[in-house]
């Protein structure tokens, strides 16, 4: 029987605090390992005493006092109090704690300062949202008994301060959000090609001039997006601008006193600050002010990418080490990040100093020269009592077991096994799910929650080498703290669940979403510019034959959605979505959800296309199952250009994916026929990193083209039974990903097998 209509009606997912509270009174993220609840509450009243068992806990007590100050007055004392913070003896995992809230008092115990901070973070989440306002009756919190400990010692978040700069108060805001969700490692990316952000007294030009720039292409793109999306979060903050002559400059930097203040602020909250001064590449901000550290006569090369220092000059090495001497003195952490990624070495091939170094040290290549530089810096770090961290490009550089490898290249599957086999510690930061500057979609939280940190560890010894996980937020296109918040919340909460939660507290995506809903009112009160999780009930492209329906399901209670159909960005005055919208003609909808404070989230586009069933090719007579895959040596950024590149090979593939033989520069064209079993409307989900295009009968069904991070596009097509010619084009320069699934009427995904394809 022919299907004449399509109705996009999914179960409404309006999670409410009331409904969730019927099954569980307490919602804490990350979920504690063990929690039991009792009936009744404990009331915090004005004048309560916060008692510490040891003076070393006074900073923690003052931090708790700052949390409570919007609710009740309090006093910090040494000894027992209404809230007791107690250090106890015993062998506990770093960060472990117990928390008992009974009718008489609150007692938090741990063998470590970090455990007490974790207990305070839990107390913070136990406080009712109304507690941010003072009340005469006091503040009631539920009676609980919690025993909890983290899965990983490293629960990190990296903030890039080079591409766009964050002042002290903005950095502190990030630290406060980290503490609330028990993240404890703040990786601070302080220098890059676009700006130098840390005062180095020996080289004052690094910040006097290197911290400021005229507007670059990234700034201009942010301003374009602010206009296009009617989103002020993309505007360049005026407090980051200054006028120098006829030029308006963007920038800012941290004095050494600023650094000390932020490090102390983080330390009070149990957060370790790990600085990164990236070298030998990503060094243009320094080279522009001190050109002698670059290869002689070659500074002009690579200013749009990553101009490196000259490792052939002893003076360049001295420059790097002098910088790090001042950095070491500012940061108590034993960990310091060298960076050492994405180094373009063309200059080194032309530089006589570099070639002399290669000859003198008996090195085989420019790659070996970089490894020599990294080893040299690691030895310098060790001499100064520091452990070096490097991005995973350094895994083959012959470093000692003290070096820590930070894995970021998801496509480099061998990096983690190689590091573990060498006995090195590893921090997992795969870009596919832990790069929080990447565009978000309905799969973002799921991909984080489903990430298995132990998937590369073959035994207990290797598992013990995995220090933990970290998310990174690169800020080329993130100019404001409001935009930072939008990109990291709620993803950082999902990260905390993976980093902290053990097997006993592991949560499904559905359970996490319920717990997350109860966090939103708290985030509202904190004025966090969080991203509302994706609207559902429609696809990027929706096909219908006679009549379609836009029936949006909402992830949060009281969500306001407004829409337009004329191509303009929805505003607060646009039509309010009130329920099922019948669609009888091809229509483009622009949807935008608004938070309770009236601020809007990103704009969502969805297109409804009215079309007849597409006829099959009655003349087709393919002979084999599967598809023909043609590989081109392609380095462009548009799928249309792939076939202009030289062909490297042909393969037969069972599904839409990258053949195992295809590596490096990838331009892929997959051709064949799609065998449709019956007349119907079919839903296809194409995920790629970078660009891809899916065509049926010469018509583009999914356009996922252009350079981008992993992104899924879902589209429907009305197809008649039979064979339909298809083509999938895909490109990537570093071995990304390509996958296509079929989505059934229940929303379940299935990877199309070779039985669906002929060629």
Structural domain spans, the chain: 21-148, 155-197+254-525, 532-610, 627-758
How many Å apart are CA 58 and CA 50, to the nearest integer?
Answer: 9
Please say if the pLDDT value at position 754 is more than 50: yes
How many Å apart are CA 159 and CA 180, to the nearest integer?
Answer: 17
pLDDT at 301: 41
Query: What is the band of 9 on the pLDDT scale with cuts at 50, 70, 90?
Result: very low
Residues linked to residue 692 through DSSP beta bridges, in sequence order:
704, 730
pLDDT at 305: 45
How many Å apart are CA 270 and CA 584, to the nearest integer?
Answer: 58
Contact yes or no for 382/402 (Cβ under 8 A)? yes
Please say if the pLDDT value at position 513 is more than 70: yes
pLDDT in tens, 638-689: 999 999 999 999 999 998 989 988 888 899 999 999 999 999 999 999 999 8
pLDDT in tens, 619-643: 988 888 899 999 999 999 999 999 9
Query: What is the band of 596 on the pLDDT scale with cuts at 50, 70, 90?
Result: confident
Query: Which residue, among 454, 473, 514, has the nearest Cα to 178 in the 3D structure?
Result: 473
- Average pLDDT for 214-228: 95
pLDDT in tens, 546-577: 999 999 987 676 789 999 999 999 999 999 99
**Which range, of 236-245, 291-300, 349-358, 458-467, averages the lowest pLDDT?**
291-300
- Average pLDDT for 245-249: 92
Query: Which residue, among 550, 551, 594, 554, has the nearest Cα to 571 in the 3D structure?
Result: 594
Residue 192 is a catalytic residue: yes
Give the residue, 13 or 42, on which the prediction is more confident.
42
Catalytic pick from 342, 344, 524, 727?
Answer: 342
Query: What is the token pair recorded at 474?
Result: 């690169």
pLDDT at 137: 67
pLDDT at 42: 95
- Output the CA–CA distances (angstroms, integers) from residue 399 to 94, 381, 393, 657, in the order listed: 27, 12, 12, 36
CB atoms within 10 A of CB 181: 25
Query: What is the band of 429 on the pLDDT scale with cuts at 50, 70, 90?
Result: very high
Query: What is the band of 517 on the pLDDT scale with cuts at 50, 70, 90?
Result: confident
Please say if the pLDDT value at position 262 is more than 90: yes
The listed range with the strongest mean pLDDT (395-409, 436-450, 518-532) is 395-409
- Average pLDDT for 416-436: 97
pLDDT in tens, 456-507: 999 999 999 999 999 999 999 999 999 999 999 999 999 999 999 987 667 8
Residue 282 is a catalytic residue: yes
Residues linked to residue 43 through DSSP beta bridges, in sequence order:
140
Please say if the pLDDT value at position 544 is more than 50: yes
Q: Calculate the average pLDDT of the chain.
A: 91
How would you write 523-540 as a 3-class SS string? HHHCCCCCCCCCCECCCC
650: Cα within 13 Å, side-chain hemisphere: 5
pLDDT at 195: 97
Query: What is the band of 740 on the pLDDT scale with cuts at 50, 70, 90?
Result: very high
Using the 8-state DSSP alphabet, how is residue 754 labeled? G
pLDDT at 405: 98
pLDDT in tens, 522-543: 999 899 999 988 888 999 999 9
CB atoms within 10 A of CB 497: 25
- Average pLDDT for 74-92: 94
Write the CB contacts of 249 (distance below 8 Å, at least 6 apart in sequence). Answer: 212, 213, 214, 241, 242, 243
As a whole-number percent, the residues of the chain with pLDDT over 70 amount to 94
DSSP string computed for 321-333: HHHHHHHHHH---
Residue 187 is a catalytic residue: no
pTM for the structure as a whole: 0.89
Give the three-class secondary structure for 697: coil
pLDDT at 370: 96
627-758 folds as Jelly Rolls (2.60.120)
**Contacts of the segment 360-363: beta carbons below 8 A, 24+ positions apart:** none
Give the residue, 189 or 134, on which the prediction is more confident.
189
Catalytic pick from 170, 176, 192, 536?
Answer: 192
Query: Which residue, among 601, 605, 577, has the nearest Cα to 12 in the 3D structure?
Result: 577
pLDDT at 134: 45
Cis before 291 (ω within 30): no
Q: Which helix (H) or strand (E) holds 224?
A: helix 217-228
Query: Which residue, among 120, 68, 38, 60, has the nearest Cα to 268 in the 3D structure?
Result: 60
Query: What is the token pair recorded at 181?
Result: 């969700």
H helix runs in 29-167, sequence order:
58-68, 113-126
pLDDT in tens, 334-365: 999 999 999 989 889 999 999 999 999 999 99
Please say if the pLDDT value at position 209 is more than 50: yes
Reply yes or no on domain 532-610 having CATH 2.60.40.10: yes
- Output the CA–CA distances (angstroms, integers) from residue 692 to 542, 656, 717, 737, in the order listed: 19, 11, 17, 10
Residues linked to residue 196 through DSSP beta bridges, in sequence order:
191
Please say if the pLDDT value at position 106 is more than 60: yes
pLDDT at 449: 95
Give the three-class secondary structure for 276: strand
Q: Which CATH number fits domain 155-197+254-525: 3.30.420.40, 3.20.20.80, 3.40.710.10, 3.40.50.720?
A: 3.20.20.80
pLDDT at 735: 63
Query: What is the band of 306 on the pLDDT scale with cuts at 50, 70, 90?
Result: low
Reply yes or no on domain 21-148 having CATH 3.30.379.10: yes
Query: What is the token pair recorded at 165?
Result: 């700069």
Catalytic pick from 124, 282, 549, 724?
Answer: 282
As a whole-number percent, the residues of the chain with pLDDT over 90 amount to 79
Torsional sign, CA 570, 575, 577, 582: negative
Please say if the pLDDT value at position 325 is more than 70: yes
How many Å apart are CA 497 and CA 405, to the nearest integer?
Answer: 22
| First vs last C-alpha separation in the chain | 28
């Amino acid at each position: 029987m022919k299907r004449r209509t399509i109705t996009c009606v999914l179960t409404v997912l309006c999670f409410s605090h009331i409904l969730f509270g019927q099954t569980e009174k307490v919602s804490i993220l990350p979920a504690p390992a063990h929690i039991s609840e009792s009936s009744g509450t404990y009331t915090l009243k004005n004048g309560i005493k916060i008692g510490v068992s040891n003076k070393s806990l006074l900073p923690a007590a003052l931090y708790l006092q700052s949390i409570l100050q919007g609710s009740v007055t309090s006093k910090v004392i040494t000894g027992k109090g209404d809230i007791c913070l107690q250090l106890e003896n015993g062998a506990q995992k770093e960060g472990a704690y117990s928390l008992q809230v009974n009718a008489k008092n609150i007692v938090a115990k741990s063998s470590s300062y970090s455990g007490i901070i974790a207990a305070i973070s839990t107390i913070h989440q136990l406080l009712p949202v109304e507690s941010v306002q003072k009340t005469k009756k006091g503040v009631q919190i539920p009676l609980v008994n919690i025993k909890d400990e983290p899965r990983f010692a490293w629960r990190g978040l990296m903030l890039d301060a080079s591409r766009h700069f964050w002042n002290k108060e903005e950095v502190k805001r990030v630290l406060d959000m980290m503490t609330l969700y028990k993240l404890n490692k703040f990786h601070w990316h302080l220098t890059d090609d676009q700006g130098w952000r840390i005062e180095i007294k020996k080289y004052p030009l690094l910040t006097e001039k290197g911290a400021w720039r005229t507007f670059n292409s990234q700034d201009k793109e942010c301003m374009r997006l602010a206009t296009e999306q009617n989103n002020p979060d993309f505007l360049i903050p005026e407090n980051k601008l200054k006028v120098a002559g006829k030029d308006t400059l963007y920038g800012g930097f941290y004095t050494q006193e600023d650094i000390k203040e932020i490090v102390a602020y983080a330390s009070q909250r149990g957060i370790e600050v790990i600085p990164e001064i990236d070298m030998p590449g990503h060094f243009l901000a320094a080279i522009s002010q001190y050109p002698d550290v670059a290869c002689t006569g070659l500074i002009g090369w690579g200013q749009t990418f990553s101009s490196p220092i000259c490792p052939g000059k002893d003076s360049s090495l001295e420059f790097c080490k002098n910088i790090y001497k001042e950095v070491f003195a500012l940061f108590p952490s034993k960990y310091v990040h060298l960076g050492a990624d994405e180094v373009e070495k063309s200059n080194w091939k032309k530089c006589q100093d570099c070639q002399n170094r290669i000859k003198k040290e008996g090195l085989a290549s420019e790659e070996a020269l970089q490894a020599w530089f990294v080893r040299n810096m690691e030895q310098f770090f060790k001499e100064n009592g520091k452990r070096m961290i490097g991005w995973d490009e350094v895994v083959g550089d012959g470093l000692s077991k003290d070096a820590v490898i930070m894995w970021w290249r998801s496509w480099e599957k061998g990096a983690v096994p190689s590091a573990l086999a060498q006995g090195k510690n590893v921090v997992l930061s795969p870009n596919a799910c832990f790069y929080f500057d990447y565009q978000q979609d309905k799969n973002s939280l799921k991909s984080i929650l489903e990430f298995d940190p132990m998937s590369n560890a073959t035994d207990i010894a290797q598992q013990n080498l995995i220090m933990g996980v970290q998310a990174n937020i690169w800020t080329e296109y993130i100019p404001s703290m409001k935009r930072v918040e939008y990109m990291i919340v709620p993803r950082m909460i999902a990260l905390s669940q993976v980093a902290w939660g053990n097997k006993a507290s592991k949560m499904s995506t559905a359970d996490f979403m319920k717990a997350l809903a109860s966090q939103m009112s708290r985030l509202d009160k904190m004025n966090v510019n969080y991203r509302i999780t994706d609207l559902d009930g429609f696809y990027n492209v929706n096909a219908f034959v006679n009549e379609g329906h836009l029936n949006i399901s909402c992830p949060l209670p009281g969500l306001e959605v407004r829409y337009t159909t004329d191509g303009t960005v929805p505003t607060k005055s646009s039509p309010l979505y009130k329920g099922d919208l019948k669609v009888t003609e091809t229509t483009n909808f622009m949807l935008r959800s608004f938070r309770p404070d009236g601020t809007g989230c990103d704009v969502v586009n969805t297109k409804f296309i009215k079309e007849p069933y597409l006829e099959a090719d009655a003349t087709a007579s393919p002979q084999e199952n599967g598809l023909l895959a043609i590989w081109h040596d392609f380095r462009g950024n548009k799928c249309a250009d792939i076939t202009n590149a030289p062909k490297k090979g042909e393969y037969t593939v069972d599904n839409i994916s990258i053949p195992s033989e295809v590596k490096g520069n990838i331009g892929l064209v997959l051709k064949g026929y799609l065998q449709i079993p019956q007349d119907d409307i079919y839903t296809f989900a194409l995920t790629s990193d970078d660009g891809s295009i899916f065509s049926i009968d010469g018509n583009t069904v999914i356009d996922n083209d252009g350079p981008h991070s992993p992104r899924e596009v879902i589209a429907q097509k009305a197809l008649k039974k039979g064979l339909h010619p298809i083509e999938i084009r895909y490109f990537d320069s570093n071995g990304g990903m390509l996958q296509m699934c079929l989505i059934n009427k229940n929303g379940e995904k299935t990877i199309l097998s070779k039985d669906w394809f002929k060629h």
